[in-house]
């Protein structure tokens, strides 16, 4: 089973061009599923039944996993068996008629504009790392890109003169996103000399690098964000995605149309973007109840 999973992951990488993070997600899901099958006495995918898959999902649910996690695992399993059936490695696809549980859609956690300002004030711009951190924070909030997209940016992906960045998102799809003058200015400050002091290899193409002169990592940016959120006194649980959520919500609050926000976020389906309109309505209601004398 492990060999078949490895072949499937290679297929997703070579034929589908999926991102490394997506491939790792498939691997984790299928490794856990394979472990469950072995514990259940199933020695191969050829003998895996619909009952086995339902049992695995029931175990995940019993262990307190969210509906979204169940849906993702089922999607991984379904994709695997579609591949195996196409390659005629299994007699049939036991996941074919299984429906995904509808996840409970929670409103995204966002920062207020005032909290964003507080966060942006924290980097110490008398230091090279502070100037870099300021540029990273400004770029991710100004564009709404994912942290994986931020750290994947190369020097050639940003056009200072035109005020645009070019990035590749899920499914290796490329999109062009405008970047505000404030973020551009801080990137210019970073490129003017700070990046040169951090980079040790002249051939390094990454826009944002760490203290060792190599491409910034997801974990590295996460630690930076946590540090500044703590120093700003922001008590909310903040992740890099919080800035993406805040970007979309603040645009809609200030009159941006949904289609434009969808395009900038790189959402394939506008229904994914519509969740931010609920956040906006929720915030309007909160302001009304706090400020209206007869609320």
Do residues 234 and 285 both lie within one domain?
Answer: yes
What's this model's pTM, rounded to 2 decimal places? 0.64
Give the catalytic positions in this structure: 146, 170, 241, 244, 267, 276
**Nearest alpha-carbon partner for 228 in 146, 132, 148, 153:** 132
Using DSSP, state whether 158 is helix, strand or coil. strand
What confidence tier does 105 reach under pLDDT thresholds 50, 70, 90? Answer: low
Number of residues that make up the chain: 295
Do residues 129 and 221 both lie within one domain?
Answer: yes
pLDDT in tens, 34-56: 999 999 999 899 999 999 999 99
Q: What is the mean pLDDT of the chain?
A: 90
Do residues 147 and 48 both lie within one domain?
Answer: no
Domain membership flag for residue 97:
no
Handedness of CA 29, 35, 39, 40 (dihedral sign): positive
Count CB atoms within 10 A of the CB of residue 40. 14
Spell out the alpha helix ranges (H) of 153-217: 181-189, 195-198
Domain membership flag for residue 182:
yes
Backbone angles phi, psi at 70, to 5 degrees: -60, -45
**Nearest alpha-carbon partner for 245 in 221, 270, 280, 218:** 280
Domain membership flag for residue 99:
no
Report the C-alpha gap between 197 and 213 in whole angstroms. Answer: 9
pLDDT in tens, 123-175: 999 999 999 999 999 999 999 999 999 999 999 999 999 999 999 887 778 89
Domain membership flag for residue 92:
no
The domain boundary residue, chosen from 67, 86, 105: 86
What is the percent of the chain where pLDDT is above 90? 67
The domain boundary residue, chosen from 86, 102, 132: 86
pLDDT in tens, 182-193: 999 999 999 998
Q: Average pLDDT, stretch 55-84?
A: 91
Do residues 188 and 237 both lie within one domain?
Answer: yes
Do residues 33 and 150 both lie within one domain?
Answer: no
Report the C-alpha gap between 236 and 255 in whole angstroms. Answer: 26
Count CB atoms within 10 A of the CB of residue 234. 19
The full DSSP string for 19-38 is -HHHHHHHHHHHHHHHHHHH
Do residues 35 and 122 both lie within one domain?
Answer: no
**Range with the poorest average pLDDT among 78-87, 139-148, 154-163, 270-279:** 270-279
Write the CB contacts of 140 (distance below 8 Å, at least 6 apart in sequence).
Answer: 147, 150, 240, 243, 244
Distances (CA, A) of 167 to 42, 185, 280: 43, 19, 27
CATH code (residue 82)? 1.10.150.130
Domain membership flag for residue 119:
yes
What confidence tier does 272 reach under pLDDT thresholds 50, 70, 90? Answer: confident
Domain membership flag for residue 157:
yes
Domain membership flag for residue 174:
yes
Do residues 136 and 212 both lie within one domain?
Answer: yes
CATH code (residue 234)? 1.10.443.10
What confidence tier does 78 reach under pLDDT thresholds 50, 70, 90? Answer: very high
What confidence tier does 291 reach under pLDDT thresholds 50, 70, 90? Answer: low
Domain membership flag for residue 128:
yes
How do beta strands 174-178 and 164-168 pair?
antiparallel
Do residues 41 and 79 both lie within one domain?
Answer: yes
Q: Identify the domain containing residue 58 by its residue range.
A: 2-86
Spell out the alpha helix ranges (H) of the chain: 2-14, 20-39, 50-62, 67-86, 113-120, 128-143, 147-152, 181-189, 195-198, 218-231, 240-253, 258-265, 270-273, 275-291
Report the C-alpha gap between 89 and 86 in whole angstroms. Answer: 8
Secondary element (H or E) of residue 165: strand 164-168
Do residues 137 and 243 both lie within one domain?
Answer: yes
Instruction: Please check the confidence at residue 102 and state whether its pLDDT lies above 80.
Output: no
59-89 burial code (b ≥16 CB/10 A, e <16): ebeeeeeeeebbbbbbebbbbbbebbbeeee
């Amino acid at each position: 089973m492990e060999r078949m999973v490895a072949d499937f992951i290679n297929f997703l990488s070579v034929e589908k061009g999926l991102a490394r993070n997506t491939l790792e997600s498939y691997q984790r899901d299928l490794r856990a599923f394979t472990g469950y099958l072995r514990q259940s006495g199933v020695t191969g995918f050829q003998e895996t039944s619909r009952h086995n898959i339902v049992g695995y999902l029931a175990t995940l649910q019993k262990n307190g996993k969210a509906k979204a996690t169940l849906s993702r695992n089922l999607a991984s399993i379904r994709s695997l068996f579609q591949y195996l059936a196409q390659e005629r490695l299994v007699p049939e696809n036991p996941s074919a008629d299984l429906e995904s549980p509808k996840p409970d859609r929670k409103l995204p956690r966002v920062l207020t504009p005032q909290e964003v300002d507080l966060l942006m004030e924290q980097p110490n711009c008398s230091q090279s790392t502070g100037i870099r951190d300021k540029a990273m924070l400004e770029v991710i909030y100004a564009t709404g890109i994912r942290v994986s997209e931020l750290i994947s940016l190369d020097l050639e992906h940003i056009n200072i003169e035109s005020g645009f960045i070019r990035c590749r998102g899920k499914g290796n799809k490329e999109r062009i996103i405008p970047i505000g003058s404030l973020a551009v200015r801080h990137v210019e400050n970073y490129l003017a000399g700070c990046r040169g002091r951090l980079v040790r290899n002249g051939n390094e193409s990454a826009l944002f690098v760490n203290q060792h002169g190599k491409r910034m990592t997801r974990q590295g940016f996460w630690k930076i964000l946590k540090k500044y959120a703590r120093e700003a006194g922001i008590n909310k649980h903040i992740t890099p995605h919080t800035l993406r959520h805040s970007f979309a919500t603040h645009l809609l609050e200030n009159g941006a149309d949904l289609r434009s926000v969808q395009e900038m976020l790189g959402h394939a389906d506008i229904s994914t973007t519509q969740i931010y309109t609920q956040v906006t309505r929720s915030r309007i209601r909160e302001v009304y109840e706090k400020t209206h004398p007869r609320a």
